[in-house]
Amino acid sequence: MTHYALGTFSLDGTRRFGAMAINGRAAALSDLVRGVPGVDPMRWATVLGVLEDWDENRPVLDALAAQPPQGVTWHALDMLYTHPPVDLPRQVFCTGANYRKHVVDLTVDSGVGPEGLDSEGLRTWAEQMMDARVAHGEPYVFSKPVSAIAGAFDTLVLPANTTKPDWELELAVVIGRGGQNIRREDAMAHVAGYTIANDISARDLIARTDYAMLGTDWLKSKGQPGFLPLGPLLTPARFVPDPHRLRLRLSVSGRTMQDETTADMLFGIERQIEYISRYCRLLPGDVICTGSPAGNGTHYGRFLQDGDVMEAEIEGLGVQKVHCVVQR
């Protein structure tokens, strides 16, 4: 089967079109399906439109990739402006504290735990706590506004209201078949594909200081413009044999910060979909950011600065490259 991906592009940064990408080139989906019996090109103008009827449209995509129609214009990807592949989803969910080593490292780095434990004792305590959480707990999920979404190569403006902007490379799941109360054993059938996300976080804005009992403030710490670079491409699930065995790597200005695999997830994709859909109806095109591995700025005591370049890669899904500038 011909390998393809989906994305959203423009020639001039304004007129966007959903596209199929093959071997470094992209063609508008609406052009590819023009003349296909029973297919309305207008509904194929966007990737979200295709996802709305994913089960029906996926075989059409497979056929188009195997034998593209004649007379369709293909553009080199490096000549196009890359927008978020789903532009835009209606809902974004983020699963927090979902990588074992990441949570253990944060526990040790912050020194939070029973009194009297040294760093090794604290690490052992945290590891045991994670084992108990997996056995008896459930995922921890919050929402992120879609206005935070940016393209995979967009500039990230670091806002003046934070001194600790941090990175969080994550595997993002894109929903194809919506639903509610989805059973764990059925969950993967609802996945259209995968892309790359970077859940940018203002670490110094997470905890509420005016009223500690409120706990965390995800709106101001994670919801600011540009705080979710997404893409560059949506890779259909059929081309990702095991999403729980993918390597994730992120570097900041040439220094590797995150280098882990999705095997370190505490709660797998099935459990996340089961949990979210128990309380919320999932819609086609929705994005689930599945958690970030160890190696955030908090661990290194080093946060994003003016002039930094983040390069984020997930095995088989492509690469993001984001330049950082301080808000003037």
| Farthest CA pair distance, the chain | 72
Question: Alpha-carbon distance 232 to 158, whole Å?
Answer: 21
pLDDT reported for residue 122: 84
Q: Which residues contact 288 (CB under 8 A, 6 or more apart)?
A: 92, 93, 94, 95, 172, 173, 175, 269, 272, 273, 276
Pairing of strands 156-158, 318-326: parallel
Please tell me whether residue 119 adopts helix, strand or coil conformation. Answer: helix
Residue written as token pair 């639903």? 179
Question: Is domain 92-98+139-326 given the CATH code 3.90.850.10 in the classification?
Answer: yes
Neighbours of 23 (CB within 10 A): 10
Quick one: tokens of 287? 């994005």
| Per-residue model confidence as pLDDT tens digits over 104-114 | 887 777 777 78
pLDDT reported for residue 127: 85
Q: How many CA atoms, within 13 angstroms, populate the side-chain half-sphere of residue 39?
A: 22
pLDDT reported for residue 114: 83
Closest to 85 (Cα-Cα) out of 317, 251, 297, 304: 317
Question: Alpha-carbon distance 197 to 150, whole Å?
Answer: 10
Identity of the residue numbered 96: G
Alpha helices in the chain (DSSP H): 29-32, 47-51, 54-66, 100-110, 119-136, 218-222, 269-279, 297-300
Return residue ranges of the chain for CATH 3.90.850.10.
92-98+139-326
Evaluate the omega torsion of the peptide bond into residue 234 and state whether it is cis, within 30 degrees of 0: no
CA 316 distance to own-chain centroid = 14
Query: What average pLDDT values come out for the chain (328 residues) when binned by 10 residues?
Result: 96 90 98 92 96 97 96 97 97 96 81 81 85 92 98 98 98 98 98 98 95 93 98 98 98 98 98 98 98 95 98 98 94
pLDDT reported for residue 12: 82
Question: Alpha-carbon distance 53 to 260, whole Å?
Answer: 34
pLDDT reported for residue 125: 85
Quick one: tokens of 98? 């979902």
pTM value is 0.96
Residue written as token pair 């423009």? 10
Closest to 56 (Cα-Cα) out of 32, 34, 39: 39
| Per-residue model confidence as pLDDT tens digits over 172-198 | 999 999 999 999 999 999 999 999 999
Question: Alpha-carbon distance 81 to 3, whole Å?
Answer: 22
pLDDT reported for residue 283: 98
Facing residues of 248 across strands? 260, 314
pLDDT reported for residue 99: 95
Identity of the residue numbered 180: Q
Question: How many distinct helices (H) and strands (E) make up the chain?
Answer: 8, 20
